[in-house]
Amino acid sequence: MDDAGVTVIVVLHRALIEDKHDESSPAAVVVVSADAAGDTTSNGNFLGYANMLSGKGLLRRVVVDECHLVITLSDWRPKLALLKNLRLLPCPIVLLTATLPPVREGELATSMLLPCATYIRASTVWPNTQYYVSWCERGKAQETALAMCRRQQQLLLHRGEKGVVYCRSKQQCEELAEALRCACYHASDIERVERLKQWLLDGGLIVATSALGTGVDFPGIMYILHVGMPWSMIDYAQESGRGGRAGERVDAVVLVEKGEVERTIKQKSSDLDVQAIGMFIISSGCRRGLMSGYLDGRRVECNDLETAGCDRCGEGVRGWQDEQMEANAEWQQVQEVLGYITYCNANVSGKRNARVSETPTFCQDHLSLYLLFHVLSTRS
């Protein structure tokens, strides 16, 4: 198809692309940053380039990926509001997203000047994902998350699997990653690409902000933990959706402090996305049904699918309880064995045969990993 023309793809994640377009020999697909796509003020602006393609009869369509970010990120990325200028181009505009609630279609249409858009929807339900909520005392979220992650890190490494821990701040992200001795990922980290590549090779946990929430598709992610209430239902659907990309079963856990959700939904009473994630966490109904009802406009519950369910539904309740009891028993075995160990053969603080302290050290962490492998092998 030599005369197929040019398709422009607008990507909203700066880290995933490199803006490059060649006027003399345009490619069949041109990728451009959303921050540049609608800008009409800069020299050599993209709209000028696109109009040149149109004048030559080459421009076929413009595709905007993850278009929901136009309305969810515009407060701190004001250039996204300029994407409406794409309507100046004489070609079809295609907007793609997996997480646009029906109640927000009007906002997107207004933002992109698309009053007569045609909507084609598919279900957002992930039947292989099990949704759970865990509670802790106020001020104990990071401490509780660290205990959960230490146990989960060892299980994932033993099984050759991956997990993502989402934090609400860069500081918390870095602190948890340092305590766990695992990779971290946030937008300000200049080494994030290298860290991501290493995590894909090594497996285990990576601690991230919402910078790793959309636009990534990696197999083998079996565990998702949110430390604190997710920013919104859209954010949670995107981030929990990083798991199970190859059809694996995924445990998606939200860890919240008591009273946290109630305070947040009261403070942001006019934000529909925040209200939706709040109801997902504290309401008594099926979590999958609450999520699908908001994102799709059609409620699909765990009992409607061939799935083990969330922690509110049938087998999901028992499965969650059994998994927690089993994991706690395994961890207790490791801790009991560690209690009998007086000396460690590795160097600790520059001394050989130093006494193992109650504070985890490099030696003790690796020893507990070995012991957990031993526990798992004796149970299999």
Q: What is the pLDDT along the chain (380 residues), one digit of tens a residue?
A: 445 799 999 998 654 444 344 444 567 889 998 888 988 887 668 899 999 999 999 999 999 999 999 998 877 788 899 999 999 999 999 999 999 999 999 999 999 998 888 999 999 999 999 999 999 999 999 999 999 999 999 999 999 999 999 999 999 999 999 999 999 999 888 888 899 999 999 999 999 999 888 777 889 999 999 999 999 999 999 999 999 988 899 999 999 999 999 999 999 999 999 999 999 999 988 999 999 999 999 999 999 987 768 999 865 555 555 665 665 565 556 555 555 554 444 444 454 444 433 434 333 444 443 344 443 444 44
Q: Which helix (H) or strand (E) element contains residue 123? A: none
Element at 75 (helix H, strand E): none
pTM: 0.79
Q: Which residue is listed with tokens 């997990």? A: 163
- Rounded CA-CA distance 9/233 in Å is 26
d(CA 259, CA 261): 6
Cα–Cα distance measured from residue 227 to residue 222, given in angstroms and rounded to the nearest whole number: 17
Decide: residue 74, CB within 10 A, 0-12 exposed, 13-18 middle, 19+ buried. Answer: middle
Q: Could you tell me which residues are beta bridge partners of residue 133?
A: 254
